[in-house]
Copies of this chain bind each other. A is one copy, B any other.
Amino acid sequence: MKVKLAKSFGFCFGVKRAIKIAQKGQDGVTLGELIHNQKEIDRLKQGYGVRLAKSIDEICKGDHVIVRTHGIPKDELKKLEDMEVEISDATCPYVTKPQKIVEQVSAEGYQVVIFGDIAHPEVKSVMSYSHTQAWVVKDLEELKQYKIPKKTALVSQTTKQTKQFYELAQYLLTHSYETRVFNTICNATFQNQDSAKELAKEVDIMIVVGGLTSSNTKQLFEIAKRHCADSYLIEDENGLELQWFEGKKICGITAGASTPDWIIQKVKQKIQEI
């Protein structure tokens, strides 16, 4: 069976980068979960001795600490820097960017507004860089509770929807004298979806690899089905069924944002052997 991978699928740039960093030094310790994927965390533990510290108290002198993709609060990074530990920063560059923006614009007197979920580690890390109290809002209704000052600056959690982000921007600029809008949304998820759609149109059968409970994987599966009737969702290569491929010539593969590449590769190999 001929196999074609989607142009964009699976782990995003930041997650791939973090895993590379974690694999480089043996026996590292991540402060918080490196990425949001248990299977991959287990693999890093078994293969590379990477352990998980749930708080900074579990970090010891001499440790090789890996900062998670979502970043950590500024004061925790400061604490680590004051300890005798080696630090590898696996913070996604798309998260480092809003951290720096927030640090700069808050120093320049702008009220920082972060579009995001206050409980998310990424938002916690970004807001910690503000010199003044940042506002974290999950929607327009929350923003409307605030009295908008003369100078405001808006950033977003990387995984938020652009449509809502623009709504917040519009509200701010109609209520501020000066508004700075930084579109810090990362479109990796949308790229995966666009690529799945394109690929589904040109193949006989589509295989979507990902957790059955993963929201973004389900979204990919829905998109694939819409453009290729013979689409199937599997967790790993063990989910494949031979009869699906009868009479088919070309098979497309895509994968959710939380699906490690090694699982995708096993699926690809098994299909090629059909």
Contacts and interface: CB of A to CB of B under 8 A. Distances in A.
A50 B169 CA distance: 47
Contacts of A178: 180-183
B177 A180 contact: no
A166 B170 CA distance: 8
Interface string A164-180: 00100110011011111
Nearest to A154: B173
A169 B179 CA distance: 10
Indicate the member of A162, A170, A179, A181 with the most B CB atoms within 10 Å: A181
Nearest to A184: B177
Contacts of A179: 169, 180-181
Given A166-B170, A169-B170, A169-B179, 10 more contacts: A162-B174, A166-B173, A170-B170, A173-B183, A176-B183, A178-B183, A179-B180, A179-B181, A180-B181, A181-B181
Contacts of A162: 174
Indicate the member of A162, A170, A173 with the most B CB atoms within 10 Å: A173
Interface residues of A, number: 14
Contacts of A180: 178-181
A137 B178 CA distance: 19
Nearest to A173: B181
A183 B152 CA distance: 12
| Count of identical protomers in the assembly | 2
A173 B169 contact: yes
A170 B179 CA distance: 12
A154 to B, nearest CB: 9
Nearest to A172: B181
Contacts of A176: 183
A143 to B, nearest CB: 16
A148 to B, nearest CB: 12
Nearest to A155: B178
Interface in A188-235: none
A57 to B, nearest CB: 39
Contacts of A173: 166, 169, 181, 183
B170 A177 contact: no
Interface string A140-173: 0000000000000000000000100010011001
Nearest to A178: B182
A179 B168 CA distance: 14
Cβ-closest 8 pairs across A and B: A179-B181, A173-B181, A178-B182, A180-B180, A169-B173, A177-B183, A170-B170, A166-B174
